[in-house]
Structure 1
Amino acid sequence: MAHVRCGRSLLRQLIKETNKPISGHTIHPLLFVGQGLRFRKLEVILTTTIEKLGKAGETVKVAPGYFRNHLMPKLLAVPNIEKYAYLIREQRKIYQHEEAETETVETSEDKMKEYQVAAKRLDNALLGLRRLVNAENELREPVTKEELVAEVARQLCVSIQPENMHLPTPLTSLGEYEVPLRLPRSIPLPEGKLHWSLKVKIRRK
Structure 2
Amino acid sequence: GYDLYISSGGPGSPLESEGSDWENHYFGWLESVIGWNNECTEEQKKHIFFICHSFQLACRYFRIGNVCKRKSTAFGVFPIHMLEEGKQEPVFDGLTDPFYSVDSRDYQVIEPDHAQLINMGAHILAIEKNRPHVPYERAIMAIRFNDHFIGTQFHPEADATGMHMYLLREDKKQTVIENHGEAKWQSMVEQLQDPGKILLTYQKVLPNFLNLAMGEPALTHP
TM-score, reference length from structure 1: 0.20
Radius of gyration: which is bigger? 1
- Which protein, 1 or 2, shows the higher relative CO under an 8 Å CA cutoff with sep ≥ 6? 2
TM-score, reference length from structure 2: 0.18
